[in-house]
Chains A and B, each alone.
Chain A
Amino acid sequence: MRFRIVSIIALQLWRSSLKNKAVLALTVIIGGMLLFAAFTGWQHYRYQHNMRLQYQQQVREQWLNSPDKHPHRMAHYGYLVFRPKHSLSFFDFGIESFTGVSIFLEAHRQNTVNFSEAGFSTGMLRFGEISVAMILQLLVPLLLFFLGFSSISAERENSTLKVLLCQGVSWQELIAGKTLGITGVALVLYLPVILVTVLCWLLLSRFQVSAGDSVRLLLLIFAYFAYFIICALIAVLVSALSKTSKGALTTLIGIWLLFMIVLPRGTQVLGAQQYPTPSKAAFQAAVEKDLRREGDSHNPDDPHYKAIKDSLLRAYNVDSVHKLPFNYGGFIMAEGERISAEIYARHQQELVRTYEQQNSFGRYAAFINPYLAIKHFSMALTGTDFAAYMDFQQQAEKFRYQLAQRMNRLQMEYISNQPPGPHDKPHSISHAHWAELQDFRYVPLQGKQVYRHERLSIAALVCWLLLPIAALFIITKKFRAL
């Protein structure tokens, strides 16, 4: 393949495309929408970030300013945690609008993450959201298809293809040149997007960027570039294989609809139907059932707690729990918390596994649909994917457990084992203890974990990039010049 020939073909297509008024208009419209999307994404991020931060600080202050009280009351007062947004989430909204924002963490109980945007949406949200990622994933390929459908078939229709091939231009050079030319038009849009994205990202993270995040951003930029090349290649190949330009256009429109509209929904629905999940009531009932089997601290005749009580009395050689050297209630609650948290975690893990099985259909479908590959990879890189949300829930639950157990330990150590009399002041401990609990800090998934989660999407993107190129060298024999 001669680079000079390829670049002449590419440049020629690029120039003539941008001279076309309809193409120029489409490019300007998509460019305008990209600007709009970047601006609203940035605004939305700042608003949400500041609001969540503000409430998180308020909750922290309220926690620290709580007066002296019984530690178990503090365990019920609990903590409110607000899910922070990843600084790249202005670029790709991912599942953000469908996931909750705040979760109430208290003793004995695992609450749901509440107040998702979707819960207060009129149903319009279901039509999709405009983000930079959405435009790059959905609309830019359409533009590329419109640019590329006639790239070879028109040459054939005008009989210029014959001339080109006679002059010694090889099929490989022709297709490579056309693909690069079309990708070049996309770059007119994409280069400014990269610039704006990097700028927004620097501003939003206040110029304090980590090496890991920089790598993520670089990968994001490369992944989209690869996606555009894939789309351009598809357009040129379809154009080369079709008899007429009209035929190529209909085929490409069909491919676009299949890839962007029908398959994503279809594969997800297939997964969801294949792996049903329990209703909330059934899930809770299953947790409670296991709890009753292992030991229910509410049941006065529960054998597990009765055995604990008996062994404690024996070990300390006393005849009543009130004579134990520590607070018995605190000890029992710590035991209850341990058991219920373990059981809950088991069921939750099982549920998450089922969700992952549901999602696996879409993950494997990335090998037949490059849109799903870039969609998943992009969400993961911008911290707006399923794994990031599950990770947040896990960290919140871990914090909840630590909070409850810390309060139980304080109760065991500092609260008298004798219940207060009817006219005594209720037991309490100094508020100085509250600061011992560190504030909740969400640590986002590390790059390595993200790449491991996304190995299928990455493999799919690489395949999509390599396969057509490999195919090019095999199937060009089938192409016809006339």
Chain B
Amino acid sequence: MPYIAMFSLAFKQFIRSRAAVTGLAFILVTGVVSLLIGQRFLNGQQEAVSFAAQQQQAHIQQHVRFFDKEMGLLLYYLHFSLVNTTDPLAGLSIGQRDVNPSIQSVTIRNLENQLYDTDLHNPLNLLLGNLDLGFVIIYLFPLLIIAFTYNLLSEEKEGGTWNLVRVQTGQPLRLLWLKWRLRMLAVFAAVALLMILAVIMLSLPFNQALLAVALLFTGYLLCWFALSFLVVSLKKSSGFNAVSMLSLWVVLTVLLPALVNSYISNAYPLPEALSNVVKQRQGYHEKWDMDRQVTMAPFFAHYPQFRKYPVPDEAFSWLWYYAMQQMGDDDARQETEKLQEKIRLREQASRKMAMVLPPLHAQLSLNNLARTGLQDHMHFLDSTRRFHERIKLGCYPGIFEEQPVASVDWDSFKVEYYREETPIRWTVLLLPLILTGGILFGWGWYNLRRQGHPAS
């Protein structure tokens, strides 16, 4: 039979099956819904940012009017915002952006008391998760692949057509391979369609990150094709294939990630988060009842440039006040560093385990590319520290010299934006998937070759 005719016949047979059509339709509809949700998420973020920008200006103007006499008192109240810009790719993978705030609004007081304030959210929404394209690709597409392929060989055998094929073509594996490619074509056409829609609906720019996402999706789904190829190559019954593939899906996307998560959160618990909050509160407040030298000596050691300002013995002084605030951060420094170290260890451990678990690897890498992961948030916190330090040191002289409030150009304090630039590490991104997929596929191929040739 000519190749083209065989192909078109197989194509007709495939597309006429109810499972194929419902599966594809379901996944496309879910995919489009996920993109709508991504679009809404991006719009919400944008609105929040422009609202914050507007709000900051009104907030500063109003407070400058109320507290026009003392610079120290005014700056006690003023909030300054830093925005972690949202990449359009976040519309594909909302990641941790729904848990962690994208806007930090801080005063020049003790930072550790402000840094970890959470956003408003409905915890049940967080628990049940977002429906973004990442979910569709990581969870649902593998199910489609399983549904398309689990009975490719067994169906022919159970229907009694396999022997016919063997006798007629002499190359039975060629037919299997053809049907296989047909299903891959259908799946990747659906992915391509969703990606094109994503580019249009979320106005994704054509850049390396988009290419990386596309390759990540492709590599991840090829891994699933390879896995199901391996199961099919065992030549068991349709029922066995269905049960074992679903079990593999449950193990890979639900159980193992949950086990890894349980291991990591138990291996690296974070008591430092709580001791940090206790220490910084005590570090600041206890200084009110201590000799001023206890505060001023370490403060001047930290910032020698302010030694020139005098501290009165008894009367209230803003220099003393802000030095006490600083002690909150300084006393909790050890806990802060320990916390950061622990989180780094958590990141590292996750990444290592993800190397051998494609769903985990796909999710973490996707979050990384979309800048919605933990690493991105940690870098944002670091940048908030630098932002706070810069504003604080910029304001200190004006406070300590008791300059008039009107001497500062308050309109110049605009909302600032942070954008993390991380280069894409292509090998780390793709190699684990290529290796996993290659090994699984090779194993399956070996099985078929070994059993396929003898004329049994």
The interface of chain A, by Cβ under 8 A from chain B, is: 33, 40, 43-44, 47, 51-52, 55, 58-59, 62, 66-67, 69, 73, 76-78, 80, 82, 94-95, 97-102, 104, 111-130, 134, 138-139, 142, 146, 245-246, 249-250, 253, 257, 261-262, 264-266, 268-269, 272-273, 276-283, 285, 298-300, 351, 355, 358-359, 362, 386, 389, 422-423, 425
Whether A51 contacts B122 in the complex (CB less than 8 A), given A121-B374, A129-B261, A146-B243, comes out as no
| Interface pair A128/B254, CB less than 8 Å apart | yes
Interface string of B52-63 (1 = CB under 8 A from A): 100100000000
B13: A residues at CB distance < 8 A: none
Chain A to chain B: the 6 pairs with minimum beta-carbon distance, closest first? A127-B257, A279-B48, A268-B128, A122-B350, A95-B123, A98-B126
Minimal beta-carbon separation of B98 from chain A (angstroms): 9
| Interface pair A355/B124, CB less than 8 Å apart | yes
Q: What residue of chain B has the Cβ atom nearest to residue A424's Cβ?
A: B314
Interface string of B71-83 (1 = CB under 8 A from A): 0000001000000
The interface of chain B, by Cβ under 8 A from chain A, is: 37, 40, 44, 47-48, 51-52, 55, 66-67, 77, 95-96, 99-101, 103, 105, 113, 116-131, 135, 139-140, 143, 238-239, 242-243, 246, 250, 253-255, 257-262, 264-266, 269-271, 273-275, 277-278, 281-282, 285, 288-289, 314-315, 343, 346-347, 350, 359-360, 363-364, 367, 373-374
| Interface pair B118/A253, CB less than 8 Å apart | no
Minimal beta-carbon separation of A298 from chain B (angstroms): 6
Whether A283 contacts B123 in the complex (CB less than 8 A), given A122-B347, A422-B315, comes out as no
Which of A120, A253, A265 is within 8 Å of B246, CB to CB? A253
Whether A281 contacts B52 in the complex (CB less than 8 A), given A119-B99, A250-B242, comes out as yes
Q: How far is the CA of A111 from the CA of B120 in the complex (A)?
A: 11
| Interface pair A51/B274, CB less than 8 Å apart | yes
| Interface pair B260/A102, CB less than 8 Å apart | no
| Interface pair A122/B373, CB less than 8 Å apart | yes
Q: How far is the CA of A372 from the CA of B366 in the complex (A)?
A: 29
Majority secondary structure of chain A interface residues (helix, strand, loop or mixed): helix
Q: What residue of chain A has the Cβ atom nearest to residue B375's Cβ?
A: A122
B359: A residues at CB distance < 8 A: 127
| Interface pair B122/A358, CB less than 8 Å apart | yes
Q: What residue of chain A has the Cβ atom nearest to residue B48's Cβ?
A: A279
A114: B residues at CB distance < 8 A: 116-118, 277
A276: B residues at CB distance < 8 A: 44
A278: B residues at CB distance < 8 A: 120
- Beyond known contacts A77-B281, A116-B99, A130-B261: 16 more, CB 8 A cutoff: A40-B266, A80-B281, A101-B273, A104-B113, A112-B118, A119-B100, A122-B346, A123-B96, A127-B363, A128-B254, A138-B254, A268-B124, A273-B37, A285-B51, A362-B128, A423-B315
Minimal beta-carbon separation of B343 from chain A (angstroms): 6
A113: B residues at CB distance < 8 A: 118
A269: B residues at CB distance < 8 A: 37, 125, 128, 130-131
Minimal beta-carbon separation of A180 from chain B (angstroms): 23
Whether A119 contacts B125 in the complex (CB less than 8 A), given A43-B266, A249-B239, A261-B139, comes out as no
- A-B CB contact pairs (8 Å), 11 listed: A40-B262, A40-B266, A44-B266, A59-B278, A66-B289, A112-B118, A127-B359, A269-B130, A280-B103, A298-B77, A351-B120
Minimal beta-carbon separation of A125 from chain B (angstroms): 6
Q: What residue of chain A has the Cβ atom nearest to residue B270's Cβ?
A: A120
| Interface pair A62/B282, CB less than 8 Å apart | yes
| Interface pair B282/A52, CB less than 8 Å apart | no
Which of A82, A253, A299, A362 is within 8 Å of B66, CB to CB? A299
| Interface pair A127/B273, CB less than 8 Å apart | no
Minimal beta-carbon separation of B365 from chain A (angstroms): 10
Q: How far is the CA of A115 from the CA of B99 in the complex (A)?
A: 11
| Interface pair B118/A120, CB less than 8 Å apart | no
Whether A280 contacts B120 in the complex (CB less than 8 A), given A104-B113, A126-B129, A130-B259, comes out as yes
Minimal beta-carbon separation of A211 from chain B (angstroms): 29
Q: How far is the CA of A61 from the CA of B222 in the complex (A)?
A: 59
Q: How far is the CA of A280 from the CA of B120 in the complex (A)?
A: 6
B123: A residues at CB distance < 8 A: 95, 98-99, 386, 389
| Interface pair B118/A124, CB less than 8 Å apart | no
A127: B residues at CB distance < 8 A: 253-254, 257-258, 261, 359-360, 363
Q: How far is the CA of A58 from the CA of B343 in the complex (A)?
A: 25
| Interface pair A245/B277, CB less than 8 Å apart | no
| Interface pair A268/B118, CB less than 8 Å apart | no
Q: How far is the CA of A269 from the CA of B129 in the complex (A)?
A: 8
| Interface pair B101/A280, CB less than 8 Å apart | yes
Which of A120, A130, A359, A386 is within 8 Å of B262, CB to CB? A130
Q: What residue of chain A has the Cβ atom nearest to residue B155's Cβ?
A: A246
Please indicate which of the listed interface residues B116, B122, B282, B314 has the most CB atoms of chain A within 10 Å of its own CB: B122
Whether A358 contacts B118 in the complex (CB less than 8 A), given A142-B250, A265-B129, comes out as no
Q: What residue of chain A has the Cβ atom nearest to residue B282's Cβ?
A: A62
A95: B residues at CB distance < 8 A: 123-124, 126-127
B105: A residues at CB distance < 8 A: 281
Q: What residue of chain A has the Cβ atom nearest to residue B119's Cβ?
A: A280
| Interface pair B124/A100, CB less than 8 Å apart | no
B350: A residues at CB distance < 8 A: 122, 124
B116: A residues at CB distance < 8 A: 114-115, 119
| Interface pair B243/A279, CB less than 8 Å apart | no
B124: A residues at CB distance < 8 A: 95, 268, 355, 358-359, 362, 386
Q: How far is the CA of A332 from the CA of B302 in the complex (A)?
A: 39
Which of A43, A47, A80 is within 8 Å of B278, CB to CB? A80
A389: B residues at CB distance < 8 A: 123
| Interface pair A128/B285, CB less than 8 Å apart | no
Minimal beta-carbon separation of A77 from chain B (angstroms): 5
Which of B117, B238, B343 is within 8 Å of A111, CB to CB? B117
Q: How far is the CA of A278 from the CA of B121 in the complex (A)?
A: 10
Please indicate which of the listed interface residues B95, B100, B124, B253 has the most CB atoms of chain A within 10 Å of its own CB: B124
Minimal beta-carbon separation of B92 from chain A (angstroms): 14
| Interface pair B374/A134, CB less than 8 Å apart | no
Which of A73, A120, A266, A279 is within 8 Å of B288, CB to CB? A73
Q: How far is the CA of A31 from the CA of B269 in the complex (A)?
A: 26
A120: B residues at CB distance < 8 A: 270, 273, 343, 346, 374
| Interface pair A126/B120, CB less than 8 Å apart | no
B259: A residues at CB distance < 8 A: 130
